[in-house]
């Protein structure tokens, strides 16, 4: 007998159920109108954006895919606990020949902001990923490493822990942890055998370029991935150099994307002022706050979008020294038609993703281990220690 789980809206009072559907209808109407406007504006960009065909053969390559996963910290038993994992899979052609995984954990006292603990958890996870990628380069003798995400995508919010005492894995201060992850990433980027495959990219460099060069009335109000999803043919690639100018790097993409965002916030300023006094200065300040270095201190990274089939394109971040003539045909040859992504990235993502309930089970196992061996603590003390911060909800 199959038991169907009740929908969430059915658990609401009747009055709220009626409001739920009325609001959904109104939201759909507004969304429909917005989509029509944006689609019309995007289609007018066909003469501006250039797409190159993906050609050539990649030959037999030994390739590793690397990814990691972490879960937000849970609070029980007087502690705040989180877990994270990373792993890699090595392929020769389309055959899996090696794989390895590692899981770690973090516990802290229930003081301070859980948000800070989660930033630390995310950085520890990236550190584990980078170490796995470097192991593939040094010990697995691979021709290429695919990391899931952008090289320095972890930098957001690093400034929030930079001056904090963290006391994890031998890092006394947040700055020490940030610098370690930054330096591991830089080593990967300088290897000439590693690229980043990014699925979730929300930059709006195309709209930023349109704003600066053609004016606000020509902007489409969408991120680059959505624009390119509507315009790119299968088996083609898009280079930001063709739009932003020869030599345009990932930093140029960020600059135009920042311009688009700050223009909406500070319309009282001119575009020239925002570009010269805000975008460039903002970039330098933000990089120093988040990575403790200037943007020019980091390796040169180029950004492209790749579309292998009818599925949406993905962003590829490529350091200097990587041969696109080999990488692009390889990505097409191993793509998953269902997602459009390289199959090795899909497989490592599936294998290493931690189930949502695992952190809850982890703290429950901590509690069970304490009950099995209390170390002289009384049962009353343990039961009080295990009490939830909010007894009405699962934490």
| Chain centroid to CA 332 | 22
SS3 281: helix
> Does position 267 have pLDDT exceeding 90, yes or no?
no
> Does position 392 have pLDDT exceeding 50, yes or no?
no
In a 13 Å sphere around the CA of 54, the CA atoms on its Cβ side amount to 25
Please give the Cα distance from 384 to 102 (Å, whole number).
33
> For 214-242, what is the mean pLDDT?
93
Q: For residue 292, is it left (φ>0), alpha (ψ between -120 and 50) or beta? A: left
**Selection from 315, 301, 300 nearest residue 237 by Cα:** 315
Which of 266-270, 281-285, 295-299 comes out lowest in average pLDDT? 281-285
Q: All domains of the chain, ordered by start, with CATH?
A: 62-352 (3.30.2170)
> What 8-state DSSP symbol labels residue 342?
B
Per-residue pLDDT at 380: 66
Per-residue pLDDT at 43: 83
Please give the Cα distance from 121 to 354 (Å, whole number).
13
> Does position 140 have pLDDT exceeding 90, yes or no?
yes
Please give the Cα distance from 306 to 304 (Å, whole number).
6
Quick: pLDDT tens for 60-111.
899 999 999 998 877 765 677 788 999 999 999 888 999 999 999 887 766 6
> Does position 316 have pLDDT exceeding 50, yes or no?
yes
Quick: pLDDT tens for 147-174.
999 999 999 889 999 998 887 878 889 9
Reported as type and span, the H/E element at residue 26 is helix 14-43
Does the CA dihedral 170-173-174-175 come out positive or negative?
Answer: negative
Report yes or no: 120 and 161 within 8 Å, Cβ to Cβ.
yes
For the record, the structure tokens of 77 come out as 């038993």
> Does position 311 have pLDDT exceeding 60, yes or no?
yes
- Write the DSSP assignment of 306-337 as a string of letters: EE-SSSPPEEEEEETT--HHHHHHHHHHTB-T
Mean of the per-residue pLDDT values of the chain: 87
Share of the chain above pLDDT 90, in %: 53
């Amino acid at each position: 007998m199959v038991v169907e789980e009740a929908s969430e809206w059915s658990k609401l009072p009747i009055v709220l159920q009626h409001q739920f559907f009325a609001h959904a209808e109104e939201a759909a109407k507004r969304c429909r109108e917005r989509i029509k406007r944006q689609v019309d504006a995007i289609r007018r960009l066909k003469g501006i954006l250039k797409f190159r065909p993906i050609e050539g053969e990649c030959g037999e390559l030994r390739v590793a895919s690397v990814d990691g996963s972490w879960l937000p910290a849970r609070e029980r038993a007087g502690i705040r606990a989180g877990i994270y994992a990373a792993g890699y899979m090595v392929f020769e052609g389309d055959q899996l020949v090696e794989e390895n995984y590692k899981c770690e954990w973090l516990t802290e006292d229930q003081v301070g902001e859980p948000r800070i603990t989660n930033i630390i958890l995310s950085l520890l996870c990236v550190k584990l990923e980078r170490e796995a990628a470097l192991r593939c380069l040094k010990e697995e003798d691979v021709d290429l490493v695919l990391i899931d995400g952008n090289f320095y995508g972890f930098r957001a919010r690093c400034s929030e822990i930079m001056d904090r005492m963290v006391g994890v894995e031998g890092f006394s201060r947040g700055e020490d942890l940030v610098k370690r992850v930054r330096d591991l990433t830089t080593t990967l980027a300088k290897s000439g055998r590693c690229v980043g495959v990014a699925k979730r990219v929300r930059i709006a460099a195309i709209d930023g370029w349109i704003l600066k060069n053609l004016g606000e009335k020509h902007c489409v109000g969408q991120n680059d991935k959505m624009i390119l999803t509507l315009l790119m043919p299968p088996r083609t690639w898009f280079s930001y150099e063709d739009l932003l100018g020869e030599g345009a790097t990932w930093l140029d993409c960020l600059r135009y994307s920042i311009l688009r965002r700050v223009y909406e916030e500070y319309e009282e300023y001119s575009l020239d002022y925002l570009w010269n006094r805000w975008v460039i200065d903002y970039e330098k300040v933000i990089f120093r706050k988040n990575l403790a270095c200037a943007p020019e201190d980091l390796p040169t990274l180029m950004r492209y979008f790749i579309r292998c089939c009818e599925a949406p394109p993905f962003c590829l971040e490529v350091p200097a020294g990587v041969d696109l003539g080999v990488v692009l045909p390889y990505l097409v040859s191993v793509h998953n038609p269902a997602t459009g992504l390289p199959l090795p990235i899909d497989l490592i993502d599936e294998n290493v993703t931690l189930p949502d309930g695992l952190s809850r089970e982890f703290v429950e196992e901590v509690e069970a281990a304490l009950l099995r061996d209390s170390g002289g603590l009384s049962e009353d003390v343990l039961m009080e220690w295990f009490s939830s911060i909010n007894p009405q909800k699962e934490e």
